[in-house]
Amino acid sequence: MGRSVNVAVVGATGAVGVEMLKTLEKRQFPVANVKVLASSRSAGKEITFKGTTLKVEELTQNSFRGVEIALFSAGASRSREFAAAAVKAGAVVVDNSSAFRMDPNVPLVVPEVNPEDVKWHKGIIANPNCTTIIMLVALKPLYDISPIRRIIVSTYQSASGAGAKGMDELEKQTADVLAGKPAVPCFFPHPYAFNLFSHNTAIQPNGYNEEEMKMVNETRKILHDDRIRVCPTCVRVPILRSHSESITIEQDRKVSVDEALQALAKAPGVKIVDDRANNLFPMPVLSNDQYDVLVGRIRDDLSFDRGLSIFVCGDQLLKGAALNAVQIAELLI
């Protein structure tokens, strides 16, 4: 894969940071040295990487001396505060937050979709939103057959998208409800166990929430196509770590189900799960801990002529976050 490089993981104790380290190890990324960085609260904690115990260091402006690739997953405010220091020290930042995604000077990259955009980075490369990544891995092979003009997508988003605290809340509330106690919201605004609710981001003046507008704007940027119309509905469901999405597309020309299946079967990062006889299609339990995006329910859309509908699942912590970041790092070397 190339020479060994010095890597820093920022937010190393968070749900995504933990998966970044696991993914670096599992994919045998050529790490020379790795720094694990987090807030002062986590400084001193120990993390195991490749059989070695690493001490978590407090993230400061001086943390990046000698670092060549810095994987950030500590939230947008931390990224805005510390990414410039990493770049100044000579590192390339792969940022998992929303801080730089829509900056015209920052590539927004899904390696299976637009790997060539890595080439024009100026020190920072942005990881897209998890829902956008999972959707576009499945849609790019179809887009390449015939440009997509319209996307209608409903998401079924897991607790992991809100980090370890979101997952903890779902587990605690589930146990409470099963024990006959009420589900008391602490982290989320509504009861989460045995419930679902509109994604917990702020509603914009147009009636869409922030998560939904990320899907609209990021899709256009990644595909370099401002003509695509996207209508998303993002919903939080009581699932621990995999996002699911129901997607209907309208293309320039009618693409048959067989043509779509052939394209998806050859696509990188896609695994087809489409067993009609046994009613077996993508499910979170199948996509947990998997690198591929599962695609199934591939069928003609009955409501318009050039329509196709699919259902997809992807591990939010992996392809939706940590894996995508590590794949970007692999492109860099």
Token code pair at residue 124: 């920072």
Give, in order, the Cα–Cα distances in Å from 190 to each of 89, 234, 255.
43, 15, 41
The DSSP 8-state label assigned to residue 200 in this structure reads S
Going by C-alpha positions, the residue among 25, 28, 27, 30 that lies closest to residue 12 is: 25
Helix (H, G, I), strand (E, B) or coil at 225: coil
Q: Is 306 strand, coil or helix?
A: coil
Run of H or E residues at 5: strand 5-10
Q: How far apart are CA 164 and CA 330, in angstroms?
A: 26
Long-range contacts (CB closer than 8 Å, 24 or more residues apart) made by 280-285: 281/311, 282/244, 282/311, 282/312, 282/313, 283/244, 283/313, 284/158, 284/239, 284/240, 284/241, 284/242, 284/244, 284/313, 285/242
- Token representation of residue 284: 């979170």
> How many C-beta neighbours within 10 Å does residue 68 have?
20
**Is 234 among the residues known to form the active site?**
no
- The single residue of 121, 130, 234, 313 carrying the catalytic annotation is 130
Chain-centre distance of CA 314, in angstroms?
A: 9
Choosing from 199, 234, 243, 313, the catalytic residue is 243
With tokens 């927004």, the residue in question is: 108
Query: For residue 272, what are the CA distances in angstroms to 32, 135, 244?
Result: 36, 14, 14
CA distance 182 to 221: 43
**Whole-angstrom distance, CA of residue 181 vs CA of residue 168:** 17
Neighbours of 204 (CB within 10 A): 11
Is 231 annotated as catalytic? Answer: no
- What residues are labeled active site? 130, 243
